[in-house]
Amino acid sequence: MSALPPAEPHSAAVHDAPPDPSHGPDMTKVRAAVRGGTLAYFVDQFDIYLPIVVLAPATIYFQSVNLSASTTAMLSSLVFASTLIGRPLGAVIFGHFADTVGRKRTTLVAVGGFGVTTLVIACLPGHETIGTWSIGLLIALRFIDGIFLGGEYTTAVPLAMEWSPKHKRGLYASVITSTSPAAYAVIAAITLLMLQQLSSEGLHSSYVQWGWRVPFVIGALLAAVLFRYYLKQVHEPPAEVTGERHKLPLVQLVSRYPKSLAQVFVLMTGVWLATNMEAAVTPVQLKEHLQLSSQGVTLTMLVINASAAISYPFFGLLSQRIGRRRFYIGYGLAVLVVGSGSYSLLMVSDGGLGTALGWGVMIGVFTVGTFGPIAAYLTERFPASIRSTGYGVGYSLALIAPAFYQFYLQQFDGVMPAHLAPGVLIALAGALICLGGFLGPETKDVDMTDDRTIPELS
């Protein structure tokens, strides 16, 4: 199909119309939706990565000092995993309302929910005050946070893609998703700055007692900004884009499109497995095996994620040129070989910050680059009437198995050194991404207003 022709942004004939083959899009609404999706994804990912980066130097605040290292690591992983486990539930709940009530209104509820939850976390007392209730409340609140976060991207991203011109979906999707590693890099930069200014040694140090709260308050404020933007600027897609509404979109998804859902599940399982190895496990190994300081670990993770963010637009454009299917097959192979190889070579190196930064660039580009065109690909895989549910469930359901990465890594105990085991899981992730891409159809020419252009719906 040919690319959409340019259009006058204020043409009265298309003021309320979505992109379609005969009229150009209302570019004011396109830009508002894409900006909204970009801001929403950034705020979502900022919130997701808060515990990994911000709480790492303040673990002692929530846990007893008498716990073993393995128990401490397990509880820390549960804080992150609880958020991931809550996201599929949020995708189901909010995807249902996005497809039956409307994308914009559902987004507002989800954003308000995680903004308030994040602010509550910033006010939590520590183990010294309330004992084990501290870590228990943190895990529980992160689970609730995950539900609202799962709802937020389930509604905001499809809305942005439905307003986007077909020939720019790959680019716009990559701009939106590039905010994920960018958010990680921003959190890392904030944390690095705070660690340089505040002491983090000991339970009663400034950072451990109150410094970690600052990024959580920033996350809550970002949610407030996002809420106001959607309320004032973003428009609901017209009925011809969102399609006929079903009362039970999840039932419709599972009963009519199981093959599409299964294929996306395979792809996204690989995506999330690679992501967890890069985002959650690599910082631990940088500190424990390579003996980098907290500042060195934070700087390395900043470089890894900044490199990934820069690569996303390139990958989005590449998928627009060669096709999404070819991109995911090829990128999966790159993760299998280059991603896992870069991680392993870093771990067997002599260490040092310079070495970590050098290999970190390769790890960033070749482990999480699948996110470049993912927003476009997943919304292209499902029909309009269940698009939010399909996108949200497809994106989130695969989170569950990779969320227990710590358990999988423990299975390698006695088989290989702990610092090399993540490389094996990165290789497995690459194989799953490649297989998921191979099993799926080509989607870059899908017309969001015409379900007949969506391949292999059943």
Q: How confident is the model at residue 199 (pLDDT cuts 50, 70, 90)?
A: confident
- Would the pLDDT of 14 be above 80? no
Q: For 250-268, how does the pLDDT look when each residue is reduced to its tens digit (9 = 90+)?
A: 888 888 899 999 999 999 9
Alpha-carbon span 196 to 192, nearest angstrom = 6
Q: Which two tokens stand for residue 83?
A: 């958020």
| pLDDT score, position 239 | 58
* Residue 405 φ/ψ, nearest 5 degrees: -55, -35
Q: Indicate the domain borders of the chain.
A: 30-235+247-453
Q: How far is CA 325 from CA 270, 341, 367, in A?
A: 15, 24, 18
| pLDDT score, position 165 | 87
For the domain 30-235+247-453, what is the CATH code?
1.20.1250.20
Q: What is the mean pLDDT of residues 258-282?
A: 93
Q: Check residue 13 and report its DSSP letter.
A: G
- Would the pLDDT of 425 be above 50? yes
Q: Which of 215-229, 240-254, 293-307, 379-393 tops mean pLDDT?
A: 215-229
Q: For 53-75, how does the pLDDT look when each residue is reduced to its tens digit (9 = 90+)?
A: 888 888 888 887 777 777 777 77
Q: For 80-130, how does the pLDDT look when each residue is reduced to its tens digit (9 = 90+)?
A: 788 888 888 888 888 888 888 888 888 899 999 999 999 999 999 988 889
Q: Are 397 and 180 spatial neighbours (Cβ–Cβ below 8 Å)?
A: no
| pLDDT score, position 238 | 61
Q: Are 103 and 234 spatial neighbours (Cβ–Cβ below 8 Å)?
A: no
Q: 3-state DSSP call for residue 21?
A: coil
Span of 332-336, 368-372, 430-434 with lowest mean pLDDT = 368-372
